[in-house]
Chains A and B, each alone.
Chain A
Amino acid sequence: MTDPIAVPLSTYSAAALFFQFLNSFGFIVLATVGLAIIFGMMGVINLAHGEFILVGVYGTALPYHAGVPLPAAMVAGVLVTTVFGVLIERTVVRHLYDRLLDSMVATWGLALVVSQLLLIVFGSSLDSISTPMGAVSYGPFSSSIYRSVFLPAVALLILAGLYVVFTRTEFGIKARATIEDPETARAMGIDTDRMYVATFAIGSALAGLTGALYAPALGSITPNRGSTFLVEAFVAVVVGGPSVIVGTLSAAGILSVFNATGSFLFGTFIGQMLLLLVAIVALRVLPDGITGYVESWRQRRRASE
């Protein structure tokens, strides 16, 4: 610490690490939230989640390249993905609500079909979209404002919005009632079928939003980018456990600390490996995820009182 250069450089390093953390946190939350809604609310793991995001990316990039301004193109991307999601729910997922493993297998088939069709129809890649908002430079580092500030902020806003929707609105109460006990919910006059469609549509819309937001941050847009999102989303859902908002938030927080530190110190590859290893260990220690553990801890405490 006697070296006069070391102090500011370590401040810069800390700032870089922090931005890296925000970047990773935003990515994990956005990649996960659509999957987490569908899994947490309906118990269905959508293996085509990465392809849903990809539909959002393509739905944004194609209008953008046709001359539509970026924000309007993003809206188009979200709409396309929502419609796509509702179609899939009506034709495929609806039949598989009581067959969870089958729903995973079927959506995997869907994932293969969608990504391969995107390849056949639109070719091996689309032109990349330049990232808006520029970057800040500090010392030897520089961070993209869009990726490290804007996207994490959007991620937090989405989680806050979901919290309000599912706890403060009539729709949210009905949706949670449907998940908790479909029989009773139906007896109370709730159209559970419609709740499932609506929940799936929200999950799809969020996947589409993720795709739209990352369309200008991906670099080249290729039909196999879906799996980039899928792995992170899987890991976060599994680590987070069944509670959507708290689970996603806590898992994204913990995972991105490891991911960002690993990436910052040893490169992105080690960061990614660290994230996956943490996930595997977390699953071994907490088989029901963080929120599952918190829940059982609460129950134990209540029982002992």
Chain B
Amino acid sequence: MSERIDAESESLLERVRAPFEGPNTVGSSIPFWVGLLVAVGALAAYPQFVGVYTVIQTSRYFALAFLALSLCFIWGYAGVLSFGQVAFFGIAAYAFGIIGLNFGSATGVMAGLAGAVLVSTAAAAVVGYFMFYGGVRDTYVTIMTLVIALVLNTFMAQTAGSEWAVGEAQLGGFNGMDIPSLTFGIGQSGLVLERVAFYYALLGTLVVTYLGLRVLVNSEFGMTMVAVREDEARTATFGYDVPFVKLVVFTIGGALAAVGGVFYASWGNYIDPTVFGIAFAALPVVWVSVGGRESLLGAIGATLAIERMRTGLSSGIGPIGSEWALVIVGGLLLGVILFMPAGVVPTLEELKDRALARGRKQSGSTTATEEPVE
């Protein structure tokens, strides 16, 4: 890169923005960041205007958004389609419960948070190593991850007996397991994150995670990920260690799912084996497909919107009952794949680009001719 003449005039704002922007994420303009700021501000002000019930429900959507980000990151950016991200989500939830219940103090719960994410990330690393160094590819990865989730579903479902306990924690089979609330502190006294405080903790973590992932996918490693997604053989020819890249990506994906799992479990103070079931496993795929697999923001937005709709239907808002929620979700998935394969956000982005290009052409400006004409 040659030194730019206007480098001196580059404002502080641009320097701050630079690591968050790149070809791998939408929104590299001032209006985008202003919009994002407004959206986050609105979400932050949200609890002041709605009841506690809505706040608690919205916290759940935030927890699930981590699961969506996890799939979006590995599928959208590295081309590894996993149907079993719920496995790592669920493992973290169970691990958090087991550790938290065995050390019934604030310290114990904090240890549970760290331990759960660690256990689940390690599980993702082991599965990833197994698959990517074993030469398992494409559809086989998808099936294998789904099978892993279903194995866990079958396994956890039969742990109802009292012999299935880890220390104090009863696994509980289909009856599920109790989970402590997320607590920060030392010893017995601690700040218990509940209701509104829990909401803000999740919102904050989600925003930080989103920004962190933006930096990651626009970094050199992010470019390598995209190269692996586009053409594995060529990327390998250029000397990149493709299995290693995939392993790192899959492990990070597992960690993201794990964070979501801990939040989700402590949100409901409860976890049961349906978290590994095929219906729940379909949801991340739906969110990410609808929002746009190559858009982190789309994945979050679609999660919030679809889960809001499901809550609405099951609490009797709208003309049809809750049993139609899955029909709509499945139909949405089918429709998006057939008619809008890239998902909502990338499609909107493309429409915007096209509109801008047309606007420039009509104004007859001479500067717009630098783009190659197809």
Contacts and interface: CB of A to CB of B under 8 A. Distances in A.
B146 to A, nearest CB: 7
Contact of A283 (B140, B155, B327): B140
B148 to A, nearest CB: 7
B231 to A, nearest CB: 15
A285 B140 CA distance: 13
A287 B130 CA distance: 11
A92 B334 CA distance: 8
Given A99-B341, A109-B337, A45 B139 contact: yes
B39 interface: no
A234 B145 CA distance: 12
A13 to B, nearest CB: 24
Contacts of A113: 326-327, 330-331, 334
Interface string B270-293: 000000001100100110010000
Contact of A273 (B137, B155, B286, B330): B155
Interface string A236-278: 0110000000000000000000000000000001001100110
A178 B340 CA distance: 29
Interface size band for A:
35 or more
A87 interface: no
Contacts of A237: 143
Nearest to A120: B323
Interface stretch (A62-70, A100-108, A146-154, A297-305): A100-108
A36 to B, nearest CB: 13
A264 B81 CA distance: 36
Given A92-B334, A99-B341, A284-B134, A109 B144 contact: no
Contact of B334 (A104, A110, A117, A234): A110
A15 B192 CA distance: 60
Most B C-beta atoms less than 10 A away, residue of A92, A108, A285: A108
B275 to A, nearest CB: 15
B327 A269 contact: no
A101 B140 CA distance: 10
B137 A287 contact: yes
Interface residues of B, number: 41
Contacts, number: 114
A280 B337 CA distance: 29
Nearest to B321: A120
B151 A116 contact: no
A231 interface: yes
Nearest to B135: A287
A96 interface: yes
Nearest to B330: A112
B151 A273 contact: yes
B142 A120 contact: no
A21 B279 CA distance: 30
B78 to A, nearest CB: 13
Contacts of B333: 105-106, 108-109, 112
Contacts of B282: 108-109, 111-112
Interface in B300-333: 323-324, 326-327, 329-333
A116 B326 contact: yes
A120 B333 CA distance: 19
Interface residues of chain B: helix, strand, loop or mixed (majority): helix
Contact of A280 (B147, B324, B330, B334): B147
A119 interface: yes
Given A109-B286, A120-B323, A284-B130, A276 B338 contact: no
Interface string B18-58: 00000000000000000000000000000000000000000
B302 to A, nearest CB: 14
Contacts of A269: 154, 158
Contacts of A279: 147
Interface string B121-147: 000000000110011111110111011
Contact of B289 (A105, A120, A272, A280): A105
B150 interface: yes
A95 interface: yes
A101 B134 contact: no
A117 B331 CA distance: 11
B29 to A, nearest CB: 30
Contacts of B134: 283-285, 287
Given A112-B329, A235-B147, A105 B337 contact: yes
A227 interface: yes
A116 B323 contact: yes
A120 B142 CA distance: 29
B299 to A, nearest CB: 14
Most B CB within 10 A of own CB, among A99, A112, A231: A112
Contacts of B130: 280, 284
A95 B338 contact: yes
Contact of A102 (B144, B147, B337): B337
26 contacts: A45-B139, A101-B139, A101-B142, A104-B139, A104-B142, A105-B285, A105-B289, A106-B337, A108-B285, A109-B331, A110-B330, A111-B282, A111-B330, A113-B331, A113-B334, A116-B323, A116-B330, A120-B324, A230-B278, A238-B140, A238-B143, A269-B154, A279-B147, A280-B144, A284-B130, A285-B134
* 4 residue pairs, one from A and one from B, having the closest CB atoms: A112-B330, A109-B333, A113-B330, A109-B334
